[in-house]
C-alpha cells in the first residue's frame, strides 16, 4: 500500500491544512503531489476490515475523521448508481415530497431531466441499498463510539442519504454550508449523543473539484465550538484549517457527528462537477425512529431550501 505508507510518514498527527507539496499551487486544503497521484492525501488512508486497528482508532480520536480506500468495488458502485436512478425516476413520477418527514431535494440535470438531488431513507426503498448496510465491516466502526447500544441508523435521523451535487443553473444542490451533523439532536429535543456519519463515495472527487472539507479536531472542543464556530448552513467561507478529501468511487469515510464540515461547490460547471455520495449514521442513545407521520425538523428544512 504505497498510498498508506507514503502518507503516514508525512503525517505528523496534525492535519494543519498546509500544503506539503511545494510545487502545488492549489489552495484547497490538501495537495496533489504534482499530478502524480490525483488521489493522494496528506493524511494516512486505511483499509476497513472487520476490526479496527489501534492506529486507526488513534487517528480518528485525534482528528474526528478517517478515510478507508476501496470499501466497495467499482462494479458495485455502478450497480448502486443504476439502482438510485431507478428509484429517482419513481419518486419523480410520483412527485414524492418527503420520505419519513425528510424533504426530498429535486433539481435539474445537465440534460434538462428532473432528478433527485437528496434522497433520504434509501435503504427502505431498495434491497440493494438495504444490503449495503448489512456489510459486517460497518459494525467494526462501532468501536469509534464505544457505547454498548451502537447501531446503524436504518430508521433514525435521515436513514441512508444519497447526495447528488451538480453545478448548473438549474441545479438546486451544488454545495453544503458549514455544519455539524450532531446539531440535529438539539432540533430533535434530544441530548447530543455520540454519532458517526459514514460516507460511501460514488464518484471520484479531488479537492480541485469542490467536495467535502472538514476541520480536523473540531469534534471534541466542547459545546460552544459545536454551536457557534460558524453560521450553520449559511456560511460557505473556506477555513484556513480545513482539509479537503481526495476520494475515489468506492472509498468510505467516517466523521464524528460533532466535526465541522461543508461541501465546497465545484469551480467547474456541468458534467465535471457531478458528485454523488451516500451517508448513513451510526447512532447511540435513545431510539428515535422516523416514520411516514414524522414532520421535518428545522435543520432538514434548512438543507432543503439552502445550498443551491
Ligand atoms: O456530501 C458530503 O460529502 C457531506 C454531506 C453532509 O455533510 C450531510 O449530508 O450532512
Ligand atoms: Fe454533514
pLDDT on residue 217: 97
182 alpha carbon – ligand 1 mean position (Å): 12
Q: Is the CB of 72 under 6 A from ligand 1?
A: no
pLDDT on residue 27: 42
Distance CA 277, CA 117 (A): 11
Distance CA 25, CA 88 (A): 39
The residue whose C-alpha atom lies closest to atom 10 belonging to ligand 1 is 181
105-108 and 65-68 strand pairing: unpaired
Q: Is the CB of 198 under 6 A from ligand 1?
A: no
Residue 117 host element (H or E): strand 114-119
* Closest ligand relative to 244 C-alpha: 1
pTM for this entry = 0.89
Q: Is the CB of 163 under 6 A from ligand 1?
A: yes
CATH class of 47-305: mainly beta
Q: Apex CA 157: angle with CA 52 and CA 104, to 5°? A: 120
97 alpha carbon – ligand 2 mean position (Å): 21
Domain chopping of the chain, boundaries? 47-305
| Ligand 1 atom nearest residue 181's Cα | 10
Residues near 2 by beta carbon (within 8 Å), at least 6 away in sequence: none
pLDDT on residue 31: 55
Placement of cell 488521489 in the chain = 39
Distance CA 243, CA 217 (A): 11
Q: Is the CB of 277 under 6 A from ligand 1?
A: yes
**Pick from 208, 289, 215: which is nearest to 17 by CA?**
215
Distance CA 258, CA 255 (A): 8
**Pick from 208, 204, 214: which is nearest to 276 by CA?**
204
Low-confidence residues of the chain: pLDDT under 70: 1-36, 306
Distance CA 157, CA 185 (A): 9
What are 253-307's pLDDT values in tens digits?
999 999 999 999 999 999 999 999 999 999 999 898 999 999 888 777 777 776 7
Amino acid at each position: 500500500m504505497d498510498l498508506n505508507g507514503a502518507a503516514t510518514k508525512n503525517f505528523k498527527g496534525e492535519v494543519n491544512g498546509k500544503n506539503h507539496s511545494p510545487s502545488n499551487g492549489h489552495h484547497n486544503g490538501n495537495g496533489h503531489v504534482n499530478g502524480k497521484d490525483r488521489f493522494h492525501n496528506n493524511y494516512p488512508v486505511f483499509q476497513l476490515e472487520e476490526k479496527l486497528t489501534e492506529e486507526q482508532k488513534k487517528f480518528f480520536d485525534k482528528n474526528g475523521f478517517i478515510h478507508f480506500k476501496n470499501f466497495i468495488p467499482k462494479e458495485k458502485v455502478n450497480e448502486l448508481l443504476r439502482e438510485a436512478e431507478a428509484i429517482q425516476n419513481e419518486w419523480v413520477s410520483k412527485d414524492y415530497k418527503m420520505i419519513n418527514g425528510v424533504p426530498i431535494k429535486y433539481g435539474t440535470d445537465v440534460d434538462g431531466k428532473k432528478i433527485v438531488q437528496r434522497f433520504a431513507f434509501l435503504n427502505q426503498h431498495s434491497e440493494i441499498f438495504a444490503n449495503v448496510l448489512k456489510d459486517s465491516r460497518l459494525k467494526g466502526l462501532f468501536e469509534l463510539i464505544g457505547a454498548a447500544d451502537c447501531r446503524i441508523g436504518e430508521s433514525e435521523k435521515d436513514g441512508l442519504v444519497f447526495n447528488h451535487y451538480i453545478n448548473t443553473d438549474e441545479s438546486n444542490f451544488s454545495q453544503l454550508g458549514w455544519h455539524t451533523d450532531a446539531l440535529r439532536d438539539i432540533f430533535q429535543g434530544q441530548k447530543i449523543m455520540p454519532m458517526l456519519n459514514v460516507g460511501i463515495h460514488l464518484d471520484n472527487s479531488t479537492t480541485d473539484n469542490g467536495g467535502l472539507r472538514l476541520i480536523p479536531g473540531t469534534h471534541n472542543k466542547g459545546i460552544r465550538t459545536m454551536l457557534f464556530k460558524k453560521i450553520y448552513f449559511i456560511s460557505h467561507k473556506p477555513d484556513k484549517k480545513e482539509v479537503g478529501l481526495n476520494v475515489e468511487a468506492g472509498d468510505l469515510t467516517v466523521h464524528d457527528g460533532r466535526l465541522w464540515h461543508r461541501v465546497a461547490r465545484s469551480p467547474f460547471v456541468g458534467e465535471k462537477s457531478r458528485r454523488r455520495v451516500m451517508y448513513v449514521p451510526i447512532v447511540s442513545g435513545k431510539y428515535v425512529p422516523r416514520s411516514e407521520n414524522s414532520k421535518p425538523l428545522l435543520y432538514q428544512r434548512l438543507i432543503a431550501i439552502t445550498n443551491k
